[in-house]
Amino acid sequence: MSFLPNEQEKEEMLKAIGCKTVEDLFRDIPREFRSPPINLPDPMSEIEIKDYFKEILSKNASFEDMPSFFGGDVMPHWIPSAVEALVSRPEFYSAYFSYQPEASYGMLQTLFEYQSMICELTGMDVAPIGLYDSASTLGEAARMCARVTKKSEFLIPKNVSWQKKSVLKNYTKGCGLEVKEFPYDKSNGKVDLSGLEEEISQHTAGIYLENPNFFGIIDDRLEKIKRLRESNEFLLVTGVDLLSLGVIKPPSEWGADLVIGEGQALGNPMNLGGSLLGVMASKRKYMRQLPGRIVGLTTDRDENPAFCFTLQTRDQFIKRDRSSSNICTAETLHACASAVYLALMGRGGLIKLAKWNFERGYRLKQALKEVSQVEIPFERELSFNQVLVRCKRKKAEDVNKELLANGIQGGLILTKQFPELGEVALYGVTEQHKDEHIEKLVKTLERIA
Amino acid sequence: MSFLPNEQEKEEMLKAIGCKTVEDLFRDIPREFRSPPINLPDPMSEIEIKDYFKEILSKNASFEDMPSFFGGDVMPHWIPSAVEALVSRPEFYSAYFSYQPEASYGMLQTLFEYQSMICELTGMDVAPIGLYDSASTLGEAARMCARVTKKSEFLIPKNVSWQKKSVLKNYTKGCGLEVKEFPYDKSNGKVDLSGLEEEISQHTAGIYLENPNFFGIIDDRLEKIKRLRESNEFLLVTGVDLLSLGVIKPPSEWGADLVIGEGQALGNPMNLGGSLLGVMASKRKYMRQLPGRIVGLTTDRDENPAFCFTLQTRDQFIKRDRSSSNICTAETLHACASAVYLALMGRGGLIKLAKWNFERGYRLKQALKEVSQVEIPFERELSFNQVLVRCKRKKAEDVNKELLANGIQGGLILTKQFPELGEVALYGVTEQHKDEHIEKLVKTLERIA
Amino acid sequence: MNKWIVPLINEVGSLNKSGVRLPDVKLPFDLPTDLKRKDLNLPGATEPEVVRHYTKLSKLNYAIDEGIYPLGSCTMKYNPKLGEQIANLPDVKNLHPSQDESTIQGLLEIGWSLERMLCEITGMDACTLQPAAGAQGELVGLLIARAYFEALKRGRTQVCLPDSAHGTNPASATMAGYEVIEIPSKKGRVDIDGLKKAVTENTAVFMLTNPNTLGLFEKDIKEIARVVHSKGALLYYDGANLNGLMGWARPGDMGFDIAHLNLHKTFASPHGGGGPGSGPICVKERLSDFLPIPRIKKSGTEERYSLEYDYPKSIGKIHSYYGNWGVIVRAYCYLLLMGNEIKKAAGQAVLNANYLKKKITQSGWYVEPYKDVCKHEFVLSCKKLLEKKGVRALNVAKRLLDYGVHPPTIYFPLIVPECLMIEPTETESKRELDNYAKILRDIAEEDAETLKNAPVSTPVKRVDEVQAARKPLLTWKELVSISAERK
Amino acid sequence: MNKWIVPLINEVGSLNKSGVRLPDVKLPFDLPTDLKRKDLNLPGATEPEVVRHYTKLSKLNYAIDEGIYPLGSCTMKYNPKLGEQIANLPDVKNLHPSQDESTIQGLLEIGWSLERMLCEITGMDACTLQPAAGAQGELVGLLIARAYFEALKRGRTQVCLPDSAHGTNPASATMAGYEVIEIPSKKGRVDIDGLKKAVTENTAVFMLTNPNTLGLFEKDIKEIARVVHSKGALLYYDGANLNGLMGWARPGDMGFDIAHLNLHKTFASPHGGGGPGSGPICVKERLSDFLPIPRIKKSGTEERYSLEYDYPKSIGKIHSYYGNWGVIVRAYCYLLLMGNEIKKAAGQAVLNANYLKKKITQSGWYVEPYKDVCKHEFVLSCKKLLEKKGVRALNVAKRLLDYGVHPPTIYFPLIVPECLMIEPTETESKRELDNYAKILRDIAEEDAETLKNAPVSTPVKRVDEVQAARKPLLTWKELVSISAERK
Ligand SMILES: Cc1ncc(COP(=O)(O)O)c(C=O)c1O
Ligand SMILES: Cc1ncc(COP(=O)(O)O)c(C=O)c1O
């Protein structure tokens, strides 16, 4: 019983409470519901479990074993060893929510710093400490638009991932918000701004725009978008690649009321897509409508600086059925990791890394252009570290299969969602992709695509 | 300059000390000795270094990749995850020696507990906190015998590893101690006790006996050895397998004055043979002659329990050329690991593990007996987790080569050191060796030996 | 403000410093000025500075590895180190969610096996690991119920729950589009008559946790299930309290139709200061078609695992991908470590709770609102302290900090005045429990002033939460601008 | 004794507990009773208990990751986290020392490359990584000298060293069988006249560290080398202070014949509370044949690495195997991180030291015994404090603990009365240095009583080291028996 310290003291403890056996403590369960012996295996030793995991995990192929080129919110990014060392301190990971601020000073300050750095990066004023992932964060953002504006429609571009759309639908089901799609421009892959303008009405609670968008394209019509926002009474929710903000203008400068993004890139592992980190930040005027927990700086009895959770009247534990969100356990440890990550990077590091990712994306695009069997649908457009690729001869699915047989995992196939674009897949690269990886991809495509 | 915090402040600092450049601070070095630019590569980034190590380390084959059957002081042992988690806390690993006991309470108590547990295990009274490895510990033990007895000869069995003999020679060079060997009995692999008795004289400062010995054999003549020790004026130094003490009588009960052993088995990795942990423990009466640092329990000003290094008048920093040893930096962190390890194991765990190792050794012996091309020279003798094996047809070296080609690393070849035994190799197994490993070994030997 | 314990990281760092070495890559093309960022006020620090900064902060944070953390409803049990080690392997961490199934067979097998185990433990038929936490699990459960009733073409608009329910329950119900009907408890348990009145043909779901938030087993569960089902409604199990039952009884057997579990509570994955967690949903067969996609399928004799999307009735997705794998792996590791001894764990958790309750209540200062055998947790009221000394539960909690232990949950559930909600879990030793009880008894004897001034030995003294709410100061940028104004 | 901060582990655990699960294997044969152990008084504890126990203890231990640790002569610099990560990989940790060379090519290549780098940095020709720490390196170096003279058939019996030498120097000399001749320093440096008198045809080695233990560069090093070599003796470099020179000047160029390095000092491998360390020995070509076996050889165009034993003149072995690989890997990682910027690191280390010295001495309380530019460390005397206030260096050191920083080395080197030996290293920020200097200056102004009572804010107050030495109490067994006696 290596985890149960009271095996020896059991009798004494039972005696103290006037019971004979542990079974006595379960007498209140009606006999008919008392379980037969549970059908689970015998406990295993650490040695056996390590062997077991060694074997079973060898059936996985990690990025180290086999490079992948999937685009999307989640990508392989470098995590500095100091980030890993710090968030693996049990002082952080084995704590609960900082309900007693006097005993949780460390976590609260770390989270305050997270909020501060996310706000610097996005140009916003307030940032809750980390929601589940980018998709559910979009859901929360939409719900927030409804709360703020009391209006009934939320507009999203057609070219948003189907996962986001599906999660959004589930998140907005309860608040009676209708999600409407506006088209993208098939000539350049960007959202069709006039199509969008047509959809805007007095019912529009919010609009969602991504930059770079789901095709990896950077929209350069920021002034237009800003004017659109200014002349209308809705909230503009922007989805960004947080890393790209090292170089690209923050959404605060083109009209955003709310910024959301996937925080995995900021010092967190991919973990097969979970756990992730939903980053959200807003203008200060909306702070009382935000979902999730927020840390405030205050003072203690001696007037020394101290931190605690604040704006709690939005929270489920106080507001119950009228709270801004049901979220309780969130992704706090990942927010800590991102705080450490951003502190290590600093302005200089982040700018360098953003440029590097631009360079990788550019290099990938250039390399793919040379492959005769594929084409780049929106080749002329600016892009960050992702490129949409069209296979001219084979199905994208078959191409991926052949790539796999050659030790490469190809791009994220979008054909099903966007049949109008043909056999397309979204390829992505980061600072983790070496020249050799790209070369191997290109050579293999040349051979098999 | 991710490790140098003052790049920006440099000018200000230089100004404060009245210098223009950093070069000014090196003016006192004669020009002729000022180095030309150092011929080292440019600094690399973490990303590059990780890739580099990934590649270079893939040229190694660890126990996970390929089981090994080497006997000797170092063997693959299970390290509980809690041990690894605790000794990787920087509070332990990034501290220095606990010179300021008020600020190093944690390490000192941990080491006091290490001393206590090692003494329980060995039956001794005092244990310094961890010397380099078993070989240099033997050297220190021999020197200690000379200090205590002021005599000039140290007797060791012929069947001790050549490494130990070589290190011993280097360690005893300075104190004028002559190392003499006594024979082992070729019929049973144990030391020849009458041969030993013949060697004992009024010059004998100490005798070294191993149990289990270098052939993996357990000596059952403990009463005889005890009597031998009692009737003579020398120190008995015993080399033990610390794990075996879960089951075997501690050397304190058969006359030992000093116990030494390799502490790697107690929660430390093999690390290709370094760093290791030299465990030493002695009777209390010799405490002022021990090498290495020792923690004592005392009180602080408020009469509360406190710890500090003690018996320091043995130490190089006080006694200089007349100190008991030159040792300064030792293997403290490994001693901490062993403390955690023993605390986790407890009596029950250690006994189980010792029995398990007995069982593994037995199973290996039984399995090898079935292989027609090999024989077990001292088959009838008791053994712990090692077995001496003789190849009847091929050279032991060639057998190892063929094993390697089949994904197994064979035993430790002893032919060169003991030509009289033929083509012998010392095979060892621990709780880390599965039945499949042993089966694979046996089947392969059957085919290739 | 006076003295900082640890300065903010922007004080430590500066705009020209960085703790990482990265190549100075040039932008491969000209970015239009309109797109270019002008300034980025993100100070960096060197690796030694960053490490020290957050190491110091970590040391100012109480955690399970340091001592007892008996937050009721949170199941703060010890997190085995093996789980950390395994969840940090590259074959768990460095997998992209879009990888080909053939390259993630290991994790899929783990996920599938865990789902089977969770079904066995809960007595349910099907399971999804997708929800990222308990509350998201609740939302999924309720969306499943909604889809279920929509499929039956019998839309229902209400969710009923006891007034002792956790806040996430009503919040999730609202998010799923339901009206919430709270049923007042009776003697700390569901009031069957109240339930009968509340549950109608318009009730979609009755949400219940059992043992409930007072730590009491709902003995009338059979009748509760009968009432709920008799109106065609579904019975939802909030599994946050499963640690009091695990191995002894199964919600599925009691009539629950949907259950969420908190892997970060019952199954020993660490809380991470508030996440990542994982909130799997288990359902009875007839609801399984509504589970979110994808679902893990095992097929063929070769035991291939796949992620299946073809469930037309599914509610769709609730998370970008398939769940929080780091947590899943830890929970699975925990179940391998414990195996069928989870029953012993729950037994010890219940014994620990009853023992601790006994020891604390000995002095008479803390009152048991509903005298009964508790399960894994229990609730005590400090109202006597309030009456006799003017001392509140909050003061008791703060004073506990001075003794170096963590307070219980306070003021929840809302139905018990001045309440302490205490859940020691099975991994606390008798020694720790005795110590905790003694501290609580000692505190009750201390003078009121001492308690009201507490804590005095924490890094900061009593924190002014009112000021924090009145003048929210949420970033260092705001701090800097306020300080600038003052000058 | 009064109150334990953390009870001893035997109080936490008990004989029937264990924190591990292991199979209950039966002994496969009967062990003669004479061989069987009767009792084993080794208490165990559960994993949660053990983890908490040592986590608590770890928190009562000051370390580099928490703050400045300016122990002179110890080079307590920050240890990059990358090194920890890499040294903990299975391909470093889980290798058996007897493995076939073909299966350890990775580590051999690392070792070989590090040897080359160390030769480049020291200006030497050959290197061994075998010694487990600096002191063992010294022993090896002196045994090499001994073998060298024996080979020349000119046995010599003395080792000379300055009175400022580190204690391991004379201790190692004795261990190698030499008589030690201490040469009094003059103005903090080697007294050339004294040296000339001391060094004779009977001198085997002159041991020197440069910069010396006062942090001063031995400007007359050329003359020193000439004197030593003129008598046929060898010049030994104690590399513990290489951090003050690295990249700027090389001992080999100055005439040193043998040098040991401390990878756990200069090359950023952590100290581990006193090990593991690593003390490579570098020598000039003519001494290389005497290096311990095995040696790493690189050969062929295919770049195979091997461990070679065939060096008949070798002194043999000093350690069971070939060195402390965990430390070697960390040092190599450090050198990859820093590359040719180690020169910058040393420059910054020297700048930090001079700056800190300036700041501390501003107040006039702390006196520089030998006014000069220092290298990576410097020595100050508290004699003025002693004279004026009766305050000793020890009191200053203890009082520093109250300010949350670690004191410098004290009372070493022996030649400076009441000395503080301060080595900040390059990884301390100006901020930390300013803070440290201010604390020292503030302390000097405090009243004597405060200092003599210090520390008051540490886990324990001033520890009674005299009592510890007078009545050594070295195990819990002894504690238990003493307590029993008292009753
Ligand atoms: C009873 C109960 N239900 C639901 C939840 C919500 O779980 P989570 O925090 O994982 O979202 C909690 C967590 O505190 C709880 O205690
Ligand atoms: C000057 C000097 N020489 C030698 C040594 C001995 O090195 P080690 O502790 O690695 O044995 C030290 C270490 O303190 C030292 O400072």
- The pLDDT tens digits for A425-448 are 999 999 999 999 999 999 999 999
Picking from C14, C21, C46, the nearest residue to B45 by CB comes out as C21
Give pLDDT tens digits for B375-399: 999 999 999 999 999 999 999 999 9
Chain C interface residues (partner B, CB cutoff 8 A): 14, 16-23, 45-49, 55, 80-82, 84-85
- Average pLDDT (D43-54) is 98
pLDDT higher than 90, residue C1: no
SS3 D186: strand
Q: Residue C54 above 90 pLDDT?
A: yes
Chain A nearest C-alpha distance from D403 (Å):
18
| Domain carrying residue B372 | 346-448
pLDDT score, position C303: 86
Distance CA(C436)–CA(C362), nearest Å, equals: 13
How far apart CA B353 and CA B359 sit, in angstroms, is 10
User: How confident is the model at residue C483, as a pLDDT?
Assistant: 86
* Residue A279 and residue A426 share a domain: no
C23 interfacial to chain D (CB closer than 8 Å): no
With CA atoms as reference, the chain B residue closest to D110 would be: B56
Concatenating the DSSP letter of every residue in A126-180 gives B--S-BS-HHHHHHHHHHHHHHHH---EEEEES-S-HHHHHHHHHHHGGGTPEEE
* Chains near A (3 or more Cβ pairs under 8 Å): B, C, D
Residues A251 and A380 in one domain: no
**CATH code of the domain in which B401 resides:** 3.90.1150.10
Q: In which band, very low, low, confident or very high, does the pLDDT at B104 lie, cut at 50, 70 and 90?
A: very high
| Ligand 1 atom index nearest CA of C264 | 10
User: Which CATH number belongs to the domain containing residue B236 in this structure?
Assistant: 3.40.640.10
pLDDT-above-90 percentage for chain A: 96
- The pLDDT of residue C14: 95
Contact D327, B132 (CB under 8 A): no
pLDDT of B1 strictly over 90: no
Instruction: With respect to residue A3, please indicate whether it lies within any of the assigned structural domains.
Output: no
pLDDT in tens, D222-277: 999 999 999 999 999 999 999 999 999 999 999 999 999 999 999 999 999 999 99
- Evaluate if residue C229 carries a pLDDT over 80: yes
Distance from CA of A380 to the nearest CA of B (A): 31
| Last-in-domain residue among A308, A325, A343 | A343
Scanning the structure block, which residue is given the tokens 């996005």?
A122
Nearest atom within ligand 2 for CA of residue D136: 11
User: Amino acid identity of D35?
Assistant: L
Considering only CB atoms, which chain A residues are within 8 Å of C455?
102-103
Whether the complex's predicted ipTM surpasses the cut of 0.90: yes
Alpha helices, H only, A246-331? 316-319
Does ligand 2 come within 6 angstroms of the Cβ of D158? no
Whether the Cβ atoms of residue B195 and residue B183 lie closer than 8 Å to each other = yes
Residue B51 inside a domain? The answer is no
Q: Is residue B160 part of a domain?
A: yes
Per-residue pLDDT of B202-231, as tens digits, reads 999 999 999 999 999 999 999 999 999 999
Q: Where are the beta strands (DSSP E) in D262-358?
A: 281-283, 295-299, 304-308
How high is the pLDDT of residue A339? 98
Quick check: C51 and D81 CB within 8 A? yes
If asked whether residues B411 and B264 sit together in one domain, one would say no
Cβ burial of B283 (10 Å; 0-12, 13-18, 19+) is: middle
* Å between C271 CA and nearest CA of chain B: 18
Residue A44 falls within a domain, yes or no? no
Task: Give pLDDT, residue A93.
Answer: 98
- For residue D223, the CA-to-ligand 2 centroid distance in Å is 25
Predicted pLDDT of residue C334: 98
In this predicted structure, what is the pLDDT of residue B449? 86
- The last residue of one of the domains, among A343, A376, A399, is A343
Q: Which positions in chain C touch A274 (Cβ < 8 Å)?
A: 97, 132, 276, 319-326
Question: Which of A1, A45, A46, A340 is best to mutate for the B interface (most B CBs within 10 A)?
Answer: A46
Q: Give yes or no: residues A139 and A88 share one domain.
A: yes
Using alpha carbons, list the distances in angstroms from residue D297 to B59, D108, D112. 16, 9, 7
- Per-residue pLDDT for D486 more than 80? no
Residue D155 has pLDDT above 90, yes or no: no
Per-residue pLDDT, B35: 85
In chain A, DSSP finds a helix count (H) and a strand count (E) of 13, 12
Q: Are D212 and D161 in contact (CB under 8 A)?
A: no
Same domain, yes or no, for A397 and A298? no
HSE, side-chain direction, 13 A CA sphere, residue C343 = 19
Per the CB < 8 A criterion, the answer to whether A356 and A431 are in contact is yes
Q: Which pLDDT value is given to residue B282? A: 98
Residue C486 has pLDDT above 80, yes or no: no
Largest CA distance in chain B: 82
Q: Is D277 in the pocket of ligand 2 (CB under 6 A)?
A: yes
8 A C-beta contact, residue B298 and residue D464: yes
Q: Where are the beta strands (DSSP E) in D155-290?
A: 158-162, 179-183, 203-208, 234-238, 258-260, 281-283
Q: Are residues B245 and B177 in the same domain?
A: yes
Same domain, B228 and B327: yes
pLDDT tens for chain A, 449 residues: list them.
Answer: 799 999 999 999 999 999 999 999 999 999 999 988 899 999 999 999 999 999 999 999 999 999 999 999 999 999 999 999 999 999 999 999 999 999 999 999 999 999 999 999 999 999 999 899 999 999 999 999 999 999 999 999 999 999 999 999 999 999 999 999 999 999 999 999 999 999 999 999 999 999 999 999 999 999 999 999 999 999 999 999 999 999 999 999 999 999 999 999 999 999 999 999 999 999 999 999 999 999 999 999 999 999 999 999 888 888 889 899 999 999 999 999 999 999 999 999 999 999 999 999 999 999 999 999 999 999 999 999 999 999 999 999 999 999 999 999 999 999 999 999 999 999 999 999 999 999 999 999 999 98
Give the pLDDT confidence score for residue C301 in this predicted structure.
77
Distance C240 CA to ligand 1 centre (A): 6
Domain presence at residue B237: yes
CB–CB contacts below 8 A, B to C = 43
Q: Could you tell me if B268 and B408 lie in one domain?
A: no
Q: How far, in Å, CA of C426 to CA of D187, rounded?
A: 67
Q: Is D74 in the pocket of ligand 2 (CB under 6 A)?
A: yes
Percentage of chain B modeled with pLDDT above 70: 100
- Choose, out of C11, C15, C21, C52, the residue to mutate when testing the contact with B (most B CBs < 10 Å): C21
Q: Answer with the one of A343, A369, A399 that is the final residue of a domain.
A: A343
Q: Are residues A390 and A249 in the same domain?
A: no
Task: Answer whether B78 sits within 8 Å of A47, measured CB to CB.
Answer: yes
Looking at the 3D structure of chain A, how many domains does it have?
2
Which stretches within A320-389 are classed as H helix? 332-369
User: CA-to-CA distance for D128 and D134, rounded, in angstroms?
Assistant: 12
- For chain C, the average pLDDT equals 96
pLDDT (mean) for D303-327: 96
What share of chain D in percent tops pLDDT 90?
96
- What's the CA dihedral at C101, C104, C110, C111 to 10 degrees? -50
Q: Classify residue C394 as exposed, middle or buried by CB count within 10 Å of its CB (0-12, 13-18, 19+).
A: middle
Q: What is the pLDDT of residue B315?
A: 85
Q: What is the pLDDT of residues C441-472, one digit of tens each?
A: 999 999 999 999 999 999 999 999 999 999 99
pLDDT, tens digit, 9 for 90 and up, residues C174-188: 999 999 999 999 999
CA of C322 to the centre of ligand 1 (A): 20
Ligand 1 atom nearest to CA at C241: 1
Q: Is D168 in the pocket of ligand 2 (CB under 6 A)?
A: yes
> Do A251 and A369 belong together in one domain?
no
b/e C421-456 (16+ beta carbons within 10 angstroms → b): bbbbbbbbbbebbbbbbebbbebbebeeeebbebbe
Strands (E) in B46-174, as ranges, are 153-157
Q: Which residues line ligand 1 (CB under 6 A)?
A: A 328-329; C 73-74, 133-135, 166, 168, 209, 213, 238, 240, 262, 277, 279
Phi, psi of C25 (to 5 degrees): -80, 140
Inspect the interface and report whether the beta carbons of A3 and C316 lie closer than 8 Å. no
Pocket test for ligand 2, best of D77, D136, D168 (most atoms within 8 A of CB): D168
Could you tell me the domains of chain C?
9-58 (no CATH), 83-340 (3.40.640.10), 342-467 (3.90.1150.10)
Instruction: Give domain status of residue A30, yes or no.
Output: no
Residue B238 lies in a domain: yes
Among residues of chain B, what percentage have pLDDT more than 90?
96
Same domain, yes or no, for A250 and A381? no
pLDDT tens by residue, D373-393: 999 999 999 999 999 999 999
Same domain, A389 and A272: no
Q: Do C320 and A134 touch (CB under 8 A)?
A: yes
From the CB of D278, is ligand 2 less than 6 Å away? no
Domain-located, residue A440: yes
DSSP state of B420: G
